[in-house]
Amino acid sequence: MNINVKLLTITHIVVSTIMIEAQTSTTKALPGDPTLPSSKENLDKLISYDKGNFKYKVEDYFARPKASQFKISPDGSYLSYKEKDQDKKNHVYVKDLKTGQITKALVEKDDLIRSYGWLDKKRLFYTQDKGGNENIHLYAADIDGGNLKDLTPFEGITLGSVRLIKDTDFVIVTMNKNNKQIFEPYKINFKTGEMTQLYENKDVNNPIDDYLFDKDGNLRGYIVLENGLTTKTYYKDLQTDKYNLLKSTDWKDTFSIIRFNDNSKNKDEVYVVTNLDSDKSRIILYDAKKNEIIKEVYANPVFDVSSINVSGKNRNYELDYVSYNGIKSETIPMSDFYKKVHTKLQSEFVDKQFFVVSADDNDNKLLVIVDSDKLYGKYYEYDTKTQNIKLLFDLMPQLKEEDMAEMKPIEFKSRDGLTIHGYITLPKAALEGKKVPLIVNPHGGPQGIRDDWGFNPETQLFASRGYATLQVNFRISGGYGKEFQNSGYKQIGRKAMDDVEDGVKYVIEKGWVDKDKIAIYGGSHGGYATLMGLIKTPDLYSCGVDYVGVSNIFTFFESFPEYWKPYKEMVKQIWYDLDNPEEAKIAKEVSPVFQIDKIKKPLFVVQGANDPRVNINESDQIVKAMRAKGFETPYMVKYDEGHGFGKEPNRIELYKYMMGFFAQNFNK
């Protein structure tokens, strides 16, 4: 097992906020303006509009599975998993596969256990923040719950990355302990908690943005972000111990060492993702000492390729497969071992997606999750020696595949000639020729993010109510090459919105949807796009739902946390340079709060009070402005949530309100 989890990226940088324990708390100052949120009584009225003889309830789609996140221990002796109790808490249990004994190892209390996994055959890790504030800490505990330690016990810090040093008692983490703007690496004994700083990140103006370690935990290189716009990769010469400049690139280009090729005798051989000499990112083998390409591993002419999986020590770290998101998720087997695994799984699951999510160190038992656009997910256990496949757990048995809607890939031309990809999920009525209401769902990010094919509980819930869902991978979305992504820079709220509108036009022309019943809904950038949709094309939509969305680019920029500051110049190139009068003028024109007079249709606003990415002030501003204009504007705030609702009761409540809001406005 290789944790090697990158918890912090430019898209997901976070800021510390105050933790609020409950929505009704009066002992602590509440974030934002506590007079603005609608009362529960008023919000509950929305639920009554969602009328009909529906086969499935909101809970069927958004209740957490009874059990989930299954993992095999490194020695194959234990099976771990999360299991939900009657209070909706998801505790981690460990089952001894020989005796059948089950132990509650990790207890989830007020705060969600965000992720967890195995450190060695007797010890687990998990990550957790406070009330959604994303100040993430790393914890470790024995499989019986004993010897629990906060491995990063510091206030106001967050993890950048975590890497397990296999066959040792150590992990290497990066965190912003000494300076909130920058991250430094630490080696931590996960049994004792003893910590050693490995390197000092001294230059705040040109900070080290990432660190390159080999499998033994040795620092072999680092990446400097110079002046916020140039990425410089330094690599250690093993003979001189000097770090030499390997590659200098513009931030928009990609040259990223993803791991060492430990299958080779050449200690300087690395796997690299790059698009320096191509539009699409591809995987290459690279000699970091000679600074030259050895060979291309895999490339695709249409989609970016950036992910590989390598075996463990048992098979000498051979490359098992390359994967990428195309129209669907694609896996390209490389090793003989994985070719055999892939062939067997493909013959078993045919038209579905399958992913190996856990394995013991000897690859005797693999845990495989299988899903599709109509299947939420099933876990299977695959014995690689006998090739036997056994169903382990059906995550959502209440949702029958035959009742779910198809997620159909679409492709169309934008008004200025770009090829745009996306998906339409159509309810049964649309397939029978009836024009149905449409919910347009722009994704978050926006840069580098895209919508993918697979089971989506939102779109399936919408389909169960007779609504189609449109998801457009507009310019600036990731996965389609750097030219496509770059074409969306400084076009947020403008040409990026044009692409969404062109997608709506496309599905209307296809005859699938009722042009008089179209809503727009999204989270984060999707919330911003909701507001801009209601402003830019006020007659196109019946209503909108803004979920943790930006309303004012100026205040959004002002709320940047300390460790966004090194990326400020980069963000100016993605959004708008507010120091440039011409671009500041554009930013004001595409800041929804300044364009309230153009909104004609009802708006529902949703916010997590502890949101570290989009401050509650963004939602407060839009609600105040809308109400000043005379719009009722229901406003849902949860004081124990952050950037999106993670707690089951809150999620269910949100979607009940949302379905009522859509029904109310579609049926006017």
Residue carrying structure tokens 């003028």: 585
* Rounded CA separation 353/342 (Å): 11
> Cα 236 to the chain's mean position, in Å?
32
pLDDT digits 0-9 by tens, 264-280: 999 999 999 999 999 99
What value does the mean pLDDT take over residues 316-334?
A: 97
Nearest to 446 by CA among 540, 521, 507, 522: 522
CATH superfamily of 40-56+400-666: Alpha/Beta hydrolase fold, catalytic domain (3.40.50.1820)
Nearest to 185 by CA among 194, 236, 195, 193: 195
The pLDDT assigned to 563 comes to 77
What value does the mean pLDDT take over residues 27-43?
A: 91
Nearest to 69 by CA among 31, 124, 117: 117
For residues 334-370, one letter each, b for 16 or more C-beta atoms within 10 angstroms of the residue's C-beta and e for the rest, the string is: bbebbeebbeebeeebeebbbebebbbbebebbbbbb
pLDDT over threshold 50, residue 613:
yes
* Rounded CA separation 350/560 (Å): 46
Nearest to 271 by CA among 250, 300, 293, 303: 293
For residue 63, what are its two tokens? 């209740």
3-state secondary structure 572-615: HHHCCCCCCHHHHHHHHHCCHHHHHHHCCCCEEEEEECCCCCCC
For residue 454, what are its two tokens? 């697979």
Indicate the average pLDDT of the chain: 94
The pLDDT assigned to 15 comes to 26
DSSP state of 633: -
Q: How far is CA 230 from CA 176, 205, 226, 566, 570, in A?
A: 21, 12, 5, 11, 9
The pLDDT assigned to 253 comes to 97
pLDDT digits 0-9 by tens, 350-367: 999 999 999 999 999 999
- For 29, list phi and psi in degrees, rounded to 5: -65, 130
* Rounded CA separation 419/474 (Å): 9
What value does the mean pLDDT take over residues 23-33?
A: 66
pLDDT over threshold 70, residue 26:
no
pLDDT digits 0-9 by tens, 387-404: 999 999 999 999 999 999
Q: What is the DSSP string of 199-251?
A: -----SSS-EEEEEE-TTS-EEEEEEEETTTEEEEEEE-TTT--EEEEEEEET
The pLDDT assigned to 28 comes to 66
Sheet of 115-120, strand order: 115-120, 123-128, 137-142, 149-150
The pLDDT assigned to 564 comes to 79
Q: Is the dihedral of CA 321, 325, 326, 327 positive or negative?
A: positive
Residue carrying structure tokens 């990112």: 281
The pLDDT assigned to 378 comes to 98
What value does the mean pLDDT take over residues 607-627?
A: 95
* Rounded CA separation 212/226 (Å): 17
The pLDDT confidence band at residue 601, using thresholds 50, 70 and 90, is very high
pLDDT digits 0-9 by tens, 13-23: 332 222 223 33
The pLDDT assigned to 422 comes to 98
For residue 226, what are its two tokens? 């110079």
pLDDT over threshold 70, residue 4:
no
* Rounded CA separation 333/474 (Å): 30
Comparison of pLDDT for 17 and 218, the residue scoring more: 218
Do 637 and 38 touch, CB atoms closer than 8 A?
no
The pLDDT assigned to 20 comes to 27
The pLDDT assigned to 21 comes to 30
- Helices 525-536 and 495-509 pack at an angle, to 10 degrees, of 70
Nearest to 603 by CA among 521, 497, 498, 516: 521
Q: Is the dihedral of CA 190, 193, 195, 201 positive or negative?
A: positive
Q: Residue ranges of the domains in the chain? A: 40-56+400-666, 342-398
The pLDDT confidence band at residue 6, using thresholds 50, 70 and 90, is very low
pLDDT over threshold 60, residue 317:
yes
What value does the mean pLDDT take over residues 630-643?
A: 95
Q: What is the DSSP string of 448-512?
A: T----SS--HHHHHHHHTT-EEEEEE-TT-SSS-HHHHHTTTT-TTTHHHHHHHHHHHHHHHTT-
Q: What is the DSSP string of 505-553?
A: HHHHHTT-EEEEEEEEEEETHHHHHHHHHHHHSTTT-SEEEEES----H
The pLDDT confidence band at residue 458, using thresholds 50, 70 and 90, is very high
Indicate the residue type of 264. Answer: S
pLDDT digits 0-9 by tens, 474-525: 999 999 999 999 999 999 999 999 999 999 999 999 999 999 999 999 999 9
The pLDDT assigned to 440 comes to 98
pLDDT over threshold 50, residue 665:
yes
Q: Kindly state the percentage of the chain with pLDDT values over 90.
A: 93
pLDDT over threshold 90, residue 544:
yes
pLDDT digits 0-9 by tens, 145-187: 999 999 999 999 999 999 999 999 999 999 999 999 999 999 9
Indicate the residue type of 94. Answer: V
